[in-house]
Structure 1
Amino acid sequence: MKILTANRLSDGEAVWYAADGTWAEAIDLAETVADKLGESRLEAIGKAAYDNDEVVDVNLIDVVVADGVIRPTRLREVIRAAGPTNRTDLGKQARPSARHA
């Protein structure tokens, strides 16, 4: 499975493309795709958002979904989804809305 990730240009925040058509700050809201057609659609969405100066560093990333929880397969993406590894009181993992980190 794959999801689309980027950094919001206005503030650098790591974001994920959500099924409602927005860029979500929580990976839990990311739209997942499991086929080449879905990947192509997400890539087109990411290119359009990049071209419109909404986001930078647009990438499709591999994830696994277990018990409804989206987990990136690469350590870099795990860190981007949660926050700094040396301070759990900072980053997305410290936000009250974080379900997991």
Structure 2
Amino acid sequence: MKILTANRLTDGEAVWFSTDHRWIESIEGSEIAADKAAEERLEAIGKAALDNNQVVDVNLIDIQLVDGEIRPLRLREQIRAAGPSNRTDLGKQARPEVSRAA
């Protein structure tokens, strides 16, 4: 399973493409690609957003579902989803509306 992530061009914020077809700041609600066709569709969406100068560093990332929550497999993506691992008072994990992805 994969999801589409990027950084918003205006402020560098890590964002994910959501099930309601917009870029969101929380990994929860990301559209999940479960097969090659869905991955190709997300890649096309990411390329279009890059070409339109909405986002940069567009990537499909590997995830797993743990108790219904999206969890990135790579540490880099866990940190992007939650925030700095040495400062839990900063980043996305410090925001009450964002669940921990790490």
TM-score, reference length from structure 2: 0.96
Q: Distance in 1 between matches of 2:81 and 2:55?
A: 16
Aligned partner letter, 1:98: V
Listed as ranges, the gaps of 5+ residues in structure 1 are none
Deviation, 1:80, is 0.3
Task: Calculate the aligned-residue CA RMSD, in Å.
Answer: 0.7
Query: Unaligned stretches of 5+ in structure 2?
Result: none
Shift of 1:11: 0.3
Shift of 1:8: 0.2
Partner of 2:28: 28
Quick one: which amino acid aligns to residue 43 of structure 1? Answer: E
Indicate the SS of the match to 1:64: strand
Describe the SS at the equivalent of 1:62: strand
- In the alignment, the residues of structure 2 paired with residue 34 and residue 24 of structure 1 have an alpha-carbon distance, to the nearest angstrom, of 20
Whether 1:56 aligns to 2:56 is yes
Letter in 2 for 1:56: V
Please tell me the residue identity of whatever aligns with 1:26: S
Q: What is the DSSP-based 3-state SS (H/G/I as helix, E as strand, rest coil) of the residue aligned with 1:29?
A: coil
Give me the TM-score of the superposition, normalised by structure 1.
0.97
* CA–CA distance in structure 1, aligned partners of residues 7 and 100 of structure 2: 20
Matched, 1:74 2:68: no
Percent of aligned positions that are identical: 69
State whether residues 18 and 29 of structure 2, in contact with CA within 8 Å, keep that contact through their aligned partners in structure 1. Answer: yes
Partners of 2:88 and 2:49 in 1: how far apart? 31
Q: Give every structure 1 segment of 4 or more consecutive aligned residues whose post-TM-superposition deviation is greater than 6 Å.
A: none
Equivalent pair of 2:81/2:100 in contact (CA under 8 Å): no
Structure-2 separation of matches of 1:21 and 1:3: 12
